[in-house]
Structure 1
Amino acid sequence: MSSPEPSPALSVNREQAVLRISVVATVALAVFGVLIGLMTGSSAIIFDGVYALTDAVMTLVALSVASLIASSTSGLSPRGKLAERFTMGFWHLEPIVLLLNGTLLMGAATYALINAVMTLLAGGNDLPFEAAMLYAAIAMTAAAGMAFYCHRANRAIGSDFIALDTKSWLMSSALSAALLVAFVFGWGVENTRLAGLAPFVDPAALALVCLAIIPIPIGTVRRALADILLVTPPGLKQEVDAVAAAVVAREGFLSYRAYVARVGRGKQIEIYFIVPAGRPAQPLEAWDRLRDEIGTAIGGESPDRWLTIAFTTDPEWAD
């Protein structure tokens, strides 16, 4: 027997709890990385810490947005100027945060790649590999554990914020694993005829890791940009069109206009039905019952759906 679906409010509470834990773990690992990087002089480890700090800041922003969305969809919308200026909710903030997050992560990796190339051209840098290996092993284990925790928690939540956070932890784990391999190699060749390669291990590892992780947030950035631009999701539009066309045929309407967009976790749907002029009058309760039937047929009813259904005899009101 499958477990019941969690309520939207419960999912939002779980989302915020997971994000809080992620923030604490990220800050701790970031501070650890920056300190070890400064002690060892490793540009790769410093980047690992800075990357984690960037992710922590964006996770805090995501947590704030998730709280705003939760309050606005639960009937506990913030009062005062904030509520007055965002009367249509806070869904639109989610793709903005996702876009900013993905862009910053790619930007940080690109900047680190440029520094790595410059260090390689300058002859590399010496590194105490024992301390570097210890850090890489600890960071890899911690990041992998957090990625597993976030992924497992998000199976029941379905949050884009947690999904991106999981990707960030996976990237951090992969980065640390690559650094560990590189540091082990550098430690192994220090007292051999290949010792001349040791100074290049740190910047070379950083460059390869950056090349690997730069493309990862592209999918999230693309979707966030589509949400910001109100690009119509084809699947949702087809579903709305099918329901609206069936209503037109059944009720004898002339036609309809449907406008659909996805903004973060929110779905915005507007349907205008063109009713023949001179149609016999009906009580408002009858139109409300028809609206309820249409809303049920579309499905996906939740606090994150903004549904408008209107009836008019003038097509200009619908165009």
Structure 2
Amino acid sequence: MFTKASEKTLLKLSVFGALFFAILGIVWGTLISSYLIIFDGLYSFVSVMLSLLSLLVAQYISKSDSRRFPFGKEMLEPVVIIVKYAAILILCILSVWLAIDAMLSGGREINVGHALIFAVVNTVGCAVVYFLLNKNKAKSGFIQAEANQWRMDTLLSAAVLVGFFFAVLLSFTPYQSVIPYVDPLMVLLVAGYFLKVPIIEMSKAFREVLEMSPDQPIQTRFKEVIASIEDRYNIQESIVRIAKVGNKLFIEIDFIVDEHSKNVTISEQDEIREEIIQHTKDVGYKKWLTVSFTNEKKWAEKRLV
């Protein structure tokens, strides 16, 4: 069973893993004058800071404070995710600018042999951490963000590996003059490609901050369960509202009953609530469920009065 302790353990793994690769990348990249490796190290360093932030916020969310946060603290999760990807977006934009400047200045002379060794070590290490996080990404928004972050870092490291392997091959050909352009060109391609990832993930997090509807499969699953309840109690209409915030689903269901509907006792209402929870266990999020019954549609529509 996935617990808060498991989440914290994985976040700590992400923090210490990112710290190791940050120091390795920055030092190694500086020694051989590689913008690409420095970018890789800086990306890992930013990951350290952001992973620490995720860990602290995850610990804060786990502490109950119903007086100040009557609906929970899950809203902090998408806010932190927005901050994380905003920082990554800024780093990518800055790296693109530096790569263009380097190419216009004649490229960068680097030791491609040492760069290739770094690329191999970094790619394998990042892939291992990503694999461990990716197995549990569906259980936590924080873990999912960390997994996405490590996926980007693994692909970045793989791109570094390919680029420097290509540079090593060039060193045995008459085209050695192209080698100084390999490093900034790879930075430009990798950072430019990754620009879309933070933009996409930030848009998802903004949807949660705005309490918009979750993905269609989640809505469909609840509507299927509700439809069977309507049939059993001869309820002609209901209004369903679902919002995903962090690792929690807020579900509000208003059944509109009329003279043809079966009379629903208080005990049966509780049974309906239990049925909805039991039949949507596969959805995989914590659920804040509110179910009400009314004869007046205006109360279900939540019109201002």
TM-score of the pair, normalised by structure 1: 0.80
CA contact (8 A) 2:247 2:285 kept: no
Q: Is the counterpart of residue 175 in structure 1 residue 167 in structure 2?
A: no
Instruction: Say which of 84, 88, 93 aligns to 1:101.
Output: 84
- 2:96 — aligned with what? 113
CA distance in 1, matches of 2:73, 2:273: 25
2:196 counterpart SS class: coil
CA deviation string 1:137-193 (max 9, x = no partner): 222222122222323x427x6334333323322322332233233334445545864
Q: Tell me the residue number matched to 2:51.
A: 59
CA distance in 2, matches of 1:138, 1:297: 46
Residues 96, 224 of structure 1: 8 Å contact kept:
yes
CA contact (8 A) 1:31 1:49 kept: yes
Aligned to 1:90: 73
- Partners of 1:280 and 1:127 lie apart in 2 by 78
- State yes or no: 1:235 paired with 2:227: no
Q: Is 215-224 or 83-92 further displaced after alignment?
A: 215-224
Deviations 1:68-111 (A, max 9, x none): 4444xxxxx14xxxx53322112222222333333432332222
Aligned length: 300
Please list every run of 5 or more consecutive structure 2 residues that lacks an aligned counterpart in the other structure.
none
SS in 2 for 1:38: helix
CA distance in 2, matches of 1:248, 1:183: 63
In the aligned structure 1, how far is the partner of 2:178 from the partner of 2:262? 87
Kindly tell me: are residues 37 and 252 of structure 1, through their superposed partners in 2, closer, same or farther at Cα, counting changes over 3 Å? same
CA-to-partner distance for each residue in 1:3-42, whole Å, 9 max, x for gaps? xxx2xxx433212211101110101110121122222222
- Please say if 1:260 is aligned against 2:242: yes
Q: 1:112 to 1:301 in 2, by over 3 A?
A: closer
- Residue of structure 1 in register with 2:188 after alignment: 207
Percent of pairs with identical residues: 28
Alpha-carbon contact 1:295-1:301 (below 8 Å) kept:
no
Bigger shift: residues 241-250 or 173-182:
241-250
- Which residue in 1 is equivalent to 2:40? 48
SS at match of 1:85: coil
Shift of 1:283: 6.6
Question: Which residue of 2 is the match for residue 38 of structure 1?
Answer: 30
Does structure 2 retain, via aligned residues, the 8 Å contact 1:54–1:105? yes
Gaps of 5+ in 1: 1-5, 72-76
Give the superposed CA RMSD.
3.2
Pick aligned residue for 2:122 from 122, 139, 149: 139
Q: 2:229–2:272: 8 Å Cα contact kept in structure 1?
A: no
SS in 2 for 1:258: strand
